[in-house]
C-alpha cells in the first residue's frame, strides 16, 4: 500500500483537484490519500479562532463568508445535478457547525476543532467527487485512528492498531481518503500536528501501515539545492538520505515539515517529494540509499535569536554550561547552535516565547547580549566536511557579518548565523561559490 499526501495548493481549486484525481488514478496500487485543507483555508480558520476569542462579529461574518465562497465555488465547478445538492448540504452543515463553535464559550480544544475543519471540508468534497467520477473510495475519519499522544514522539503502534481496525472493515477496497493535520492527544482530545503537519500525518500513517512508499505531492518538483525564492537557477536534488532531509527541513526548507521523516527512518520506507503540476518530473527520493557524498543543499531558517552569555565565572570552572542549559530546559526552549570561548558562550533559539524569563534568570549569573532577527544558513550533505569544495563556504566571512559558525557538530552540516537582512546575499554568495562548479558539470 502507498500513502499519497497532497498539500493545500494541490487541492486549492476545482482544476487542481481534477489534476490530483488523475495522479491517484495513474496506478492501481492500493492507497491511502492524505489531504490538506484548500490553500488559504487553515489561515482563515486560525483568524476565525482569533476573532471568536475577542468576539469580533464583523470579522467572524467576513471569514465565514470567505470559507463558504471558497468551498461553494469548488463544488459548483466539480459537481452536477443531485450530487451537487447532496454535497452542498453536507458542507453547509459543517459550515454551520464551525459558526456554532464561534458562538459558544470557547474551550481548550476549540482551536483544534476549528482549524482542522479545513481538512474535513476538503476530504468530504474530494471523496464525493471521486464517487461521482465512478471511483469507489472510503473516507476515513482521521480522528478514529490518529491517536498519536504526543507530537514529539507519536505512538505509531497505537495508530497502527487503530488504522488496522478501520481498514479491516473494508477489505475489498483499495482507495482510502483521510485528513492530514488532525490528531488526538494523550487524553484522546482533538489536537493538531502543528501548521504544515499533513506531511507528518502521511509518514505517521505510512509507518503505521508499513507502506511501500510515502509520496508527498506539492507545487515544486522536489527539494532544491538552494531556496528558489531567493536564488536563481536552483535545481531539484534527486536523492537525499533521511538525515540530510531532516536537517534541511529543520533548518528552513519550506517544502517539508521538520518532523516528517522521523517515523519512517527505522522502517526504511522511502519518501518521495513530487510535483502535482509536473507529475513526470523525477522529484526527490528520500531514503536510506547513499548515492553521492558531499555538498547537497543549502537552506535558511529565519526568526533566530542569538544570545551571548559572558561570565568570568566560566574561567577554568566546571558546571557553568550545565547551569545555563538548565535555565533553557526549565523554560522548555531548545537550543539550535552553540559556540564557546573560555569566558563566553553564544547560542541560538528559534522559539522566543520565553525569552524574557530566560534573560531574567541568565542576567543573575552573566552579562548578556541578545540579538534578534538573525537567520541560520545551513549547508547539508553527507560527509560534507570531507568535501574538497566545502572550505569555500568560509569565504562568506570576507563578505558579510557572520555572527556564529558551527562546524563539525555532525559530518553532514555546516551552519552559519547571519543577520536576516543579509540572508539573501549569503544564500546567493554560497550558491555561487559552492554550486557553480557542480552546475557547470551537470
Ligand atoms: N492545513 C494545515 C496547514 O495549513 C496542515 C497542512 O497543510 O499541512 O497548516
Ligand atoms: Mg506543506
Q: Kindly state whether residue 396 falls inside one of the protein's structural domains.
A: yes
Beta-bridge partner residues of 236: 224
Asked if 408 and 379 touch (Cβ cutoff 8 Å), the reply is no
Q: Kindly state whether residue 404 falls inside one of the protein's structural domains.
A: yes
Whether residues 80 and 204 share a domain: the answer is yes
For ligand 1, atom 5, the nearest C-alpha belongs to 196
Q: Which three cell numbers stand for residue 436?
A: 557553480
- Between the CA of 315 and the centroid of ligand 1 the distance, in Å, is 48
326 Cβ partners below 8 Å, 6+ apart? none
Which of 199, 219, 239 marks a domain boundary? 219
Concatenated DSSP letters of 96-108 = HHHHHHHHS---T
**Calpha distance 177→30 (Å, rounded):** 11
Instruction: Kindly state if the Cβ of 198 falls inside 6 Å of ligand 1.
Output: yes
Tell whether the model's pLDDT for residue 438 goes beyond 80: no
CATH code for the domain in which residue 329 is found: 3.30.2130.10
Q: Kindly state whether residue 239 falls inside one of the protein's structural domains.
A: no
**Alpha-carbon separation of residue 33 from 3, 139, 240, 410 (angstroms):** 6, 10, 24, 36
**Alpha-carbon separation of residue 195 from 36, 112, 156, 176, 210 (angstroms):** 11, 11, 20, 23, 25
pLDDT in tens, 199-253: 999 999 999 999 999 999 999 999 999 998 899 989 999 999 999 998 888 887 7
Q: Kindly state whether residue 224 falls inside one of the protein's structural domains.
A: no
For ligand 1, atom 6, the nearest C-alpha belongs to 196
Q: Kindly state whether residue 261 falls inside one of the protein's structural domains.
A: no
Task: Give me the residue label for grid cell 558546571.
Answer: 319
Whether residues 314 and 436 share a domain: the answer is yes
Whether residues 205 and 319 share a domain: the answer is no
Tell whether the model's pLDDT for residue 440 goes beyond 70: no
The domain of 110 spans 2-219
Q: How confident is the model at residue 281 (pLDDT cuts 50, 70, 90)?
A: very high
374 Cβ partners below 8 Å, 6+ apart? 304, 305, 306, 348, 403, 417, 418, 419, 420
Angle at 46 between CA 45 and CA 49, to 5 degrees: 85
Which of 158, 185, 219 marks a domain boundary? 219
Whether residues 25 and 171 share a domain: the answer is yes
pLDDT in tens, 97-117: 999 999 999 999 999 999 999
Instruction: Kindly state if the Cβ of 381 falls inside 6 Å of ligand 1.
Output: no
pLDDT in tens, 414-437: 999 999 999 999 999 999 999 875
Closest by Cα among 142, 147, 235 to 188: 147
CA-37 nearest atom, ligand 1? 1
Whether residues 28 and 177 share a domain: the answer is yes
Q: Kindly state whether residue 345 falls inside one of the protein's structural domains.
A: yes
Beta carbons within 10 angstroms of residue 174's beta carbon: 14
How many domains would you assign to the chain?
2
Tell whether the model's pLDDT for residue 292 goes beyond 60: yes
273 Cβ partners below 8 Å, 6+ apart? 216, 218, 222, 223, 255, 256, 283, 284, 286
Please give all residues whose CB falls under 5 A of ion ligand 2, grouped by chain where several chains appear: 7, 196
Instruction: Kindly state if the Cβ of 36 falls inside 6 Å of ligand 1.
Output: yes
Instruction: Kindly state if the Cβ of 181 falls inside 6 Å of ligand 1.
Output: yes
Instruction: Kindly state if the Cβ of 217 falls inside 6 Å of ligand 1.
Output: no
Which of 219, 238, 272 marks a domain boundary? 219
pLDDT of residue 442: 40
pLDDT in tens, 2-47: 999 999 999 999 999 999 999 999 988 999 999 999 999 999 999 9
Whether residues 159 and 302 share a domain: the answer is no
CATH code for the domain in which residue 61 is found: 3.40.1160.10
* Average pLDDT score over residue span 403-413: 91
Whether residues 61 and 173 share a domain: the answer is yes
Ligand 1, from 4, 7, 8, 119: best to mutate by most atoms within 8 Å of Cβ?
A: 8
Whether residues 181 and 307 share a domain: the answer is no
Amino acid at each position: 500500500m502507498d500513502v499519497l499526501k497532497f498539500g493545500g495548493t494541490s487541492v486549492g481549486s476545482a482544476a487542481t483537484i481534477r489534476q490530483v484525481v488523475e495522479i491517484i488514478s495513474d496506478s492501481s496500487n492500493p492507497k491511502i490519500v492524505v489531504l490538506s485543507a484548500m490553500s488559504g483555508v487553515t489561515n482563515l480558520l486560525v483568524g476565525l479562532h482569533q476573532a471568536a476569542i475577542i468576539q469580533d462579529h464583523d470579522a467572524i461574518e467576513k471569514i465565514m463568508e470567505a470559507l463558504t465562497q471558497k468551498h461553494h465555488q469548488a463544488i459548483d465547478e466539480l459537481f452536477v445535478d443531485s450530487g451537487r445538492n447532496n454535497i452542498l448540504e453536507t458542507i453547509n452543515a459543517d459550515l454551520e457547525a464551525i459558526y456554532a463553535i464561534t458562538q459558544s464559550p470557547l474551550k481548550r480544544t476549540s482551536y483544534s476543532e476549528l482549524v482542522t475543519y479545513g481538512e474535513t471540508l476538503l476530504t468530504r468534497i474530494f471523496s464525493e467527487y471521486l464517487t461521482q467520477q465512478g471511483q469507489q473510495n472510503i473516507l476515513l475519519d482521521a480522528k478514529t485512528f490518529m491517536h498519536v499522544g504526543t507530537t514529539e514522539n507519536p505512538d505509531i503502534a497505537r495508530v497502527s492498531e487503530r488504522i488496522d481496525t478501520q481498514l479491516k472493515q473494508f477489505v475489498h477496497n483499495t482507495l482510502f481518503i483521510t485528513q492530514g493535520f488532525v490528531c488526538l492527544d494523550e487524553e484522546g482530545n482533538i489536537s493538531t500536528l502543528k501548521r504544515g503537519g499533513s506531511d507528518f500525518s502521511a509518514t505517521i500513517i505510512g509507518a503505521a501501515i508499513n507502506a511501500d512508499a510515502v509520496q508527498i505531492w506539492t507545487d515544486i518538483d522536489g527539494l532544491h539545492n538552494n531556496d528558489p525564492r531567493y536564488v536563481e537557477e536552483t535545481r531539484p536534488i534527486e536523492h537525499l538520505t533521511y538525515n540530510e532531509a531532516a536537517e534541511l527541513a529543520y533548518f528552513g526548507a519550506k517544502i517539508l515539515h521538520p518532523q516528517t521523516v522521523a517515523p519512517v527512518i527505522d522502517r526504511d520506507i522511502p519518501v518521495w517529494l513530487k510535483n502535482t503540476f509536473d507529475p513526470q518530473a523525477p522529484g526527490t527520493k528520500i531514503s536510506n540509499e547513499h548515492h553521492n557524498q558531499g555538498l547537497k543543499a543549502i537552506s535558511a531558517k529565519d526568526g533566530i535569536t542569538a544570545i551571548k552569555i559572558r561570565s568570568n565565572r566560566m574561567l577554568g570552572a566546571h558546571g557553568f554550561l550545565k547551569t545555563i542549559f538548565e535555565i533553557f530546559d526549565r523554560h522548555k526552549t531548545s537550543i539550535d547552535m552553540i559556540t564557546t570561548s573560555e569566558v563566553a558562550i553564544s547560542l541560538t533559539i528559534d522559539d522566543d516565547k520565553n525569552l524574557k524569563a530566560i534573560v531574567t534568570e541568565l542576567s543573575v549569573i552573566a552579562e548578556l547580549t541578545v540579538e534578534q532577527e538573525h537567520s541560520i544558513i545551513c549547508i547539508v550533505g553527507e560527509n560534507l566536511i570531507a568535501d574538497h569544495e566545502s572550505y569555500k563556504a568560509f569565504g562568506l566571512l570576507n563578505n558579510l557579518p557572520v555572527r556564529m559558525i558551527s562546524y563539525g557538530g555532525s559530518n553532514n552540516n555546516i551552519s552559519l548565523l547571519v543577520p536576516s537582512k543579509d540572508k539573501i546575499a549569503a544564500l546567493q554568495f554560497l550558491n555561487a561559490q559552492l554550486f557553480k562548479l557542480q552546475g557547470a558539470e551537470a
